[in-house]
Amino acid sequence: MRQLSYTVMLSSIVLLLSCQKKQEVSTATGKQPYKDITVTEAMNLIDQKADVVFLDVRTPEEIADGMIPGAITADYRSDSFKQEISALDKSKSYIVYCRSGGRSVKASHIMSEAGFSDLMNMKGGYNSWKEVNQ
């Protein structure tokens, strides 16, 4: 009898934990404020949609080494980053990039909280752009 109680209790715990895990994954996926895209996908979007804007969130020192033609800039590490993005048109689509893809993810989260809805993170950032466009 005691063994049956342990089995039932263990089964209940396993079932409960598996349901919780599924809910966490579902919630996390549902709240992702951006879509990851490749450099090639970004280039195709520019050709297809007139309202797509490249947003470079690198530092001025990094930008001095080159940037995507036509991109606008807002330094993620700057104290004025939130002010700079609040001045942008929220109705446009933004392809956010940095040097390698880390800061652009963080910037996309901040932009989503500020009311931007069409955000894309260019995987690999400017480093990937340079590789594809040599």
pLDDT of residue 82: 97
Is residue 57 pLDDT above 90, yes or no?
A: yes
Which of these is catalytic: 55, 57, 98, 120?
98
Residue 98 annotated among the catalytic residues of the structure: yes
Q: What is the pLDDT of residues 60-75, one digit of tens each?
A: 999 999 999 999 999 9
What letter represents residue 94's amino acid? Y
pLDDT of residue 70: 93
Q: Find the angle CA(120)-CA(125)-CA(126) to the nearest 5 degrees.
A: 130
pLDDT band at 15, cuts 50/70/90? very low
**Mean of pLDDT over the chain:** 83
Is residue 12 pLDDT above 50, yes or no?
A: no
pLDDT of residue 134: 84
Q: Where are the domains of the chain?
A: 1-31, 33-132
CATH class of 33-132: alpha beta
